[in-house]
Amino acid sequence: MRLALKFALVFVVGMCLILTVYANHVVNREISLFQDDMRSDQRVLCQAIAPVIQSVWRTSGESQAMALIDQVNRAEHPQRLGVRWISADSSVSARAPRSSAEAAALRRGEEYTWGDRSGRGSGRLCSVIPIDVPGQGPAGLEITESLQAQVDYSRATVRKTLIATIALAVEVGAMGLIVGFWFVGRPVGSLITSARAVAAGDLSTRLSVRQHDEFGDLARELNTMCDQLAAARDRVARETAARLAAIEQLRHADRLKTIGQLASGVAHELGTPLNVVWAKAKRIAGQLEPGASADARVICEQSERMTTIIRNLLDFGRPRPPRRVRLDLREIARRTATLLGSMARKQNVAIAVSGGDTPVWTDADPNQIAQVLSNLFMNGIQAMPAGGKLTIGFTAERVRPPAGLGLPEAEYRCVFVQDEGGGIHEEDLGRLFEPFFTTKEVGQGTGLGLSVSNGIVREHGGWITVTSRVGTGSVFSVYLPGEDPHVGTDSNRGDEYGYLNEKFDLVG
């Protein structure tokens, strides 16, 4: 609205100025034309009358000439036009020149015109023409004409101009207001509203200015700008979230590393005393009578269990790089199943390893894979306290790994371990491979088994997936890369650790 007022004001003032100047110029020109006309009219009149008066004066004498002049006067209204005989040297006031200039012109024998503003009214235009008449000295005719008409005319013109100016001013002002409001004020108003909304954070407002002019363009560009701002804000929000997640992950990894170091340190310290406890318990078991001997044997078993826990803790703190050999996953699975056979039987669990006749080759560390399978088998067995069937199967096919692991689509071998246990709740599924996370009772496990297994599998370039339904059971699938076709099948290398560990079972 203020803008429209400014427009209106500017238009009106400009227009008034122009009109005033123009009117002034016109009026002045008219006046001068007017006066020129009057002047030449008077001269013409004088020149027309002069010879007549001269002739009359010569033939009939002065009084006849004066009478003629009176006659001319009577024909005209005296206020408007008057003719007078002027004599420069006359002492009669009716014949005296009005001014010294007039007298001087008469004496010079020149025509003279002047304006006389003295007296009442609007002034007069006077002309004097010297007429040579015998016996009069410098004399002539003086014509006086009122300027009233001129004044009236200019007054009328001014009045008309004023009216026109006011009318135009009003109209232009109104138009300016309307145009200013409709084409500028209103779109700008909506732009202001939108800008306020954007400043307050709402980037979803859209301007609907549909004019096909600069404001329409501006509105469209502002809408585009809002879109980009919104996109940029989303991008920043996403990047911030990603960065925060990465930082959290780093912190988590750092925490894990610290815990790992702590755990390793504790495990190291416990190794020697545990060795002594275990050995002494073994000795006692052989020396006592059956009741106490059984207790001593429990000490042995628990010591072995503690040894396993310590091994797991040490592995967790320090993952070993795999020493790969070409192996058949079926063999490892069957060997592990045999090792756990007695434990499974005690819990009424039947282990079924299906595999068909085709070997499932992969290049992997046999001890580590055995450790993984052992962990999964034990979990499966422990998930079925009332007994059930543990099914182990194999697949070999081209698979696309899950996103985010950085692994290529390629040939993979899969060992899946299926149990008929209680299943895993959905909220726990995401945390299964977290170190120290366990759904078992306190004392039943360290919560490191799956974490270590996952670490081993990832080191081999594979991954583990879990599907589970509460009440039905779970399936753990271990994916490992297929064998490298360029490497030979020299699978009998084995390693010294394997040799030692197998033969002498030094780790219990």
Nearer to other proteins by Cβ, of 260 and 393: the residue is 260
Nearer to other proteins by Cβ, of 63 and 275: the residue is 275
Binding to other proteins (CB under 8 A) within 250-279 occurs at 267-269, 271-276, 278-279
43, 186, 282, 297: residue in contact with other proteins (rule CB under 8 A): 282
Which residue from 155, 126, 119 is spatially nearest to 41, judged by alpha carbons?
Answer: 126
Which residue from 392, 400, 387, 391 is spatially nearest to 360, judged by alpha carbons?
Answer: 392
| Interaction of residue 301 with other proteins, rule CB under 8 A | no
Nearer to other proteins by Cβ, of 203 and 263: the residue is 263
Shortest CB 447 distance to other proteins, Å: 21
Nearer to other proteins by Cβ, of 310 and 415: the residue is 310
Shortest CB 271 distance to other proteins, Å: 4
Residue type, 473: G
Nearer to other proteins by Cβ, of 22 and 497: the residue is 497
Terminal-residue alpha carbon distance, the chain: 93
Nearer to other proteins by Cβ, of 266 and 343: the residue is 266
Nearer to other proteins by Cβ, of 107 and 282: the residue is 282
Angle between helices 329-339 and 366-382 (to 10 degrees): 50
| Interaction of residue 497 with other proteins, rule CB under 8 A | yes
CA torsion 225-228-230-233 (nearest 10°) is: -120
Pick the piece of the chain touching other proteins (CB under 8 A) from 112-120, 304-312, 389-397, 414-422: 304-312
Strand partners, 87: 139
Give the CA radius of gyration of the chain: 62
Residue 323, burial from CB neighbour count under 10 angstroms (0-12, 13-18, 19+): middle
Nearer to other proteins by Cβ, of 198 and 314: the residue is 314
Binding mask of the shown chain, residues 311 to 330, with x at each position contacting other proteins by CB under 8 A: ---x---x-xx---------
- The SS3 assignment for 493 reads coil
Shortest CB 311 distance to other proteins, Å: 8
Please, how many CA atoms are within 13 Å of residue 152, restricted to the half-sphere of its CB? Answer: 5
Q: What ranges in 416-487 are assigned the alpha helix state H?
A: 426-429, 449-459
Q: How many helices (H) and strands (E) does the chain have?
A: 13, 11
Shortest CB 338 distance to other proteins, Å: 20
Structure tokens at 354: 């299906």
Binding to other proteins (CB under 8 A) within 158-217 occurs at none
Measured CA to CA, the distance from residue 439 to residue 428 in angstroms comes to: 8
Nearer to other proteins by Cβ, of 43 and 280: the residue is 280
Binding to other proteins (CB under 8 A) within 462-491 occurs at none
**DSSP tag of 284:** H
Residue 316 in contact with residue 445, Cβ under 8 Å?
A: no
| Interaction of residue 297 with other proteins, rule CB under 8 A | no
Binding to other proteins (CB under 8 A) within 416-455 occurs at none
Q: What element of type H or E holds 388?
A: strand 388-399
Give the total of residues touching other proteins (CB under 8 A).
29
Binding site for other proteins (CB under 8 A): 267-269, 271-276, 278-280, 282, 303, 306-307, 310, 314, 318, 320-321, 496-497, 500, 504-508
